[in-house]
């Protein structure tokens, strides 16, 4: 009788069967958000992936000029080596498919309005190919934990009207829900009641360190030839992080001026 022994252990050594094949690098996604908290770790790992197991090789990261965050002030990259020209060089760990770019953000330099780190991926040797325009954007957003819920049933009351003296939203009960992050909130409500009965729109805002921030470009579906949009105003609404009984939101109504000129509108939300 002949006994044949086999092993299922994976060979962790060389990978000759990959010789001559192109290994393509790319970011694992195009964007991410780091909530920067006072006293928090404030770390984020940007993943660079390979299409094949890496034997050896280096790649580079350059910081794009469109970035609004400043390296060494707003954030730090804790791995990689500066080659003296502003390029950060990374050795891709042998045997891996993923290599992380480790970022730490500084709370003292952060902003509720957010700052961006825009990174370009660069191939530095013949082991890797990087598609043109490979880029990743990390949003650094100042974060103050909420001590109250800020969700559920609220009564909306207009305190400053928008275009043509109309309330932007129908006054009355709305239901506020949590959005994509712990500080994002959303509610659905019909718009411009003085002009007729229109479908509800989803309105989004964020509760950031005492300020109620409103994203730009929120389409109402109603307008003068084209839809008006809602967005941030020169003034901002406010809230108390430990008391969700009421808070204010201030917006720009008709950002693009399709109905004449933009208006600063406002409303009060009181918990039911």
Mark whether 133 and 176 lie in a shared domain: no
SS3 165: helix
Residue 207 neighbours by CB under 8 Å, 6+ apart: 146, 150, 183, 185, 213, 239, 241, 247
**Residue burial 136-162, b: 16+ Cβ < 10 Å; e: rest:** bbbbbbbbbebeeebbeebebebebbb
The residue from 99, 115, 143 where one domain ends is: 143
By residue range, what is the domain housing residue 81?
18-143
Mark whether 173 and 135 lie in a shared domain: no
Mark whether 93 and 194 lie in a shared domain: no
Mark whether 99 and 185 lie in a shared domain: no
Query: Residue 125: exposed, middle, or buried by beta-carbon count in 10 A (0-12, 13-18, 19+)?
Result: exposed
Mark whether 125 and 208 lie in a shared domain: no
For residue 56, pLDDT beyond 90 = no
The residue from 80, 108, 143 where one domain ends is: 143
CATH of the domain at 200: 2.40.128
Query: Does residue 10 fall inside a structural domain?
Result: no
Confidence of residue 20 (pLDDT cuts 50, 70, 90): low
Query: Does residue 5 fall inside a structural domain?
Result: no
Mark whether 32 and 139 lie in a shared domain: yes
For residue 107, pLDDT beyond 60 = yes
SS3 193: helix
Mark whether 208 and 137 lie in a shared domain: no
CA 48 centroid distance within chain: 18
- Rounded CA-CA distance 240/27 in Å is 39
pLDDT digits (tens, 9 = 90+) for 161-197: 999 999 999 999 999 999 988 899 999 999 999 998 8
Mean pLDDT of 133-159: 94
Q: What is the pLDDT of residue 19?
A: 52
Query: Does residue 212 fall inside a structural domain?
Result: yes
Please report which helix (H) or strand (E) contains residue 190, including its range. strand 184-190
What's the predicted TM-score (pTM) here?
Answer: 0.67
- Total number of domains constituting the chain: 2
SS3 164: helix
Mark whether 258 and 169 lie in a shared domain: yes
Mark whether 158 and 217 lie in a shared domain: yes
Mark whether 248 and 197 lie in a shared domain: yes
Mark whether 203 and 266 lie in a shared domain: yes
Q: SS3 breakdown of the chain: % helix, strand, coil, rounded to 5?
A: 5, 50, 45
- Rounded CA-CA distance 192/198 in Å is 8
CATH of the domain at 59: 2.60.40.2030
Query: Does residue 1 fall inside a structural domain?
Result: no
SS3 270: strand
pLDDT digits (tens, 9 = 90+) for 115-131: 999 999 998 888 888 98
Query: Does residue 86 fall inside a structural domain?
Result: yes
- Rounded CA-CA distance 227/254 in Å is 8
CB 267 within 8 A of CB 156: yes
Beta bridge partners of 82: 88
Query: Does residue 138 fall inside a structural domain?
Result: yes
Query: Does residue 62 fall inside a structural domain?
Result: yes
Query: Does residue 27 fall inside a structural domain?
Result: yes
The residue from 119, 143, 167 where one domain ends is: 143
β-pair type (23-27, 128-129) = parallel
Q: What is the pLDDT of residue 143?
A: 87
Mark whether 23 and 112 lie in a shared domain: yes
């Amino acid at each position: 009788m002949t006994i044949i022994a086999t092993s299922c252990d994976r060979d962790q050594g060389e990978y000759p069967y990959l010789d001559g094949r192109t290994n393509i690098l790319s970011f694992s996604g195009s964007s991410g958000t780091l909530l920067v908290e006072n006293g928090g770790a404030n770390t984020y790992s940007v993943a660079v992936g390979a299409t094949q197991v890496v034997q050896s090789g280096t790649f580079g990261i350059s910081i794009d000029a469109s970035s609004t965050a400043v390296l060494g002030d707003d954030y730090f990259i804790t791995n990689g080596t500066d080659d003296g020209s502003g390029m950060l060089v990374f050795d891709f760990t042998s045997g891996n498919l993923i290599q992380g770019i480790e970022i730490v953000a500084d709370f003292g330099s952060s902003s509720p309005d957010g700052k961006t780190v825009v990174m370009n991926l660069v191939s530095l040797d013949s082991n890797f190919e990087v598609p043109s325009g490979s880029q990743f954007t990390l949003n650094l957003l100042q974060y103050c934990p909420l001590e109250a819920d800020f969700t559920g049933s609220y009564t909306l009351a207009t305190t400053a009207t928008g275009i043509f003296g109309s309330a932007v939203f129908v006054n009355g009960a709305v239901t506020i829900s949590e959005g994509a992050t712990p500080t994002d909130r959303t509610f659905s409500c019909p718009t411009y009641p003085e002009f007729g009965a229109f479908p509800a729109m989803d309105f989004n805002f964020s509760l950031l360190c005492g300020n109620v921030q409103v994203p730009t470009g929120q389409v109402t579906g109603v307008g003068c030839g084209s839809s008006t949009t809602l967005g941030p105003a020169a003034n901002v609404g406010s809230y108390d992080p430990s008391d969700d009984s009421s808070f204010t939101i201030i917006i720009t109504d008709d950002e693009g001026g399709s109905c004449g000129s933009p208006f600063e509108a406002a409303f009060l939300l009181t918990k039911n």
